[in-house]
Amino acid sequence: MFQLVPQEFAEYAQTIYQSMGAPELNNTNIWDVYKGILDRFEQWDDIADLIEEYRVYFDIVEENDRREEEDVRPPEGVELRGGLEEANEDGNYYMGGVNNGLGLG
C-alpha cells in the first residue's frame, strides 16, 4: 500500500495503519482510512512537540536536583560541629555552629 512513497514515510504510515487495526481496504472505506492516517500523522506532530516540552522540563528538574544536592554539601575545608557521628535522639544530625554549637533549641 505504501510502495510509492519514501521509505521513512512508508514505515511511519505502516505503523499508523497497523495501530488502526490494519483494516482491509476497499472502495467504500479507503477514504476513511486515508483520513484516519492523515489525522494520526497530524497528531504525531503534536505528540513530538509535547515530548520535546517534557524533555526540556525534565532537563530543568534534573539540573535543579543536581544544584540542590550541591547546595546541601558542606563547604570544603570547613569543619562543622556535630556531623554524622553525633545523631540527635530523633535520628537527625546537627551540622553547624548556631548558638555556639548548641543548635536552635
Under DSSP, the state recorded for 7 is H
**pLDDT tens track for 13-48:** 888 889 889 999 899 998 999 899 888 888 877 777
For residues 47-65, give the mean pLDDT.
83
Is the entire prediction scored with pTM above 0.85?
A: no
Burial of 12 (0-12, 13-18, 19+ CB in 10 A): middle
Output the nine-digit C-alpha cell for 36: 484516519
Dist. CA 73–CA 91, nearest whole Å = 19
**pLDDT tens track for 9-18:** 888 888 888 9
**pLDDT tens track for 68-94:** 666 666 556 656 556 666 677 777 766
Output the nine-digit C-alpha cell for 105: 533549641
Dist. CA 24–CA 31, nearest whole Å = 12
Helix (H) or strand (E) holding 82: strand 82-87
